Amino acid sequence: MPDRTKQEYYKQWREANKEALAEKQKQYYEANKEAIAIKRKQYCEDNKEELKAFYSEKIQCKCGAVVRRSGIARHCKTPKHNKYVGSL
Ligand SMILES: [Zn+2]
């Protein structure tokens, strides 16, 4: 089977089994909740410096404001940003 067809087939299959897959994922998460949390925490611990550097890196928002990556979500709710969005 050519790759393209295979991809299409897989896409259709996934679409048809969407709910079952979501349910399965949910079950997997429930069953492994603690392990996942530990793993995630461990990852954060192991990469503390990198993550800190990553999130404190300054980036320029499309509205022109320079904000830290960690503050971008909050920034998007500020009047300054909304004014820009509203002017589009
Ligand atoms: Zn902005």
Residues 71, 72, 73, CA angle at the centre, nearest 5°?
95
Q: Are 65 and 35 in a shared domain?
A: no
Over residues 18-72, the pLDDT tens digits come to 999 999 999 999 999 999 999 999 999 999 999 999 999 999 999 999 999 999 9
Q: Are residues 69 and 40 in the same domain?
A: no
Q: Write down the pTM of the prediction.
A: 0.52
Residue 79 pLDDT exceeds 90: yes
- State how many domains the chain has: 2
**Ligand 1 center to 40 CA (angstroms):** 29
Determine the pLDDT at residue 1: 64
Q: Classify residue 52: in a domain, yes or no.
A: no
**Containing domain of residue 10, as a range?**
1-46
Domain membership of residue 53 (yes or no) is no
**Residue 87 Cα to ligand 1 middle (Å):** 12
How far does residue 59's CA lie from ligand 1's centre (Å)? 10
Q: Please give the C-alpha separations between residue 60 and each of 38, 68, 83, in angstroms, as whole numbers.
A: 33, 8, 16
Same domain, yes or no: 41 and 7: yes
- Domain check: are 3 and 23 in the same one? yes
Residue 81 pLDDT exceeds 90: yes
**Sign of the alpha-carbon torsion through 20, 24, 29, 31:** positive
Look at residue 1 and tell me if it is in a domain.
Answer: yes
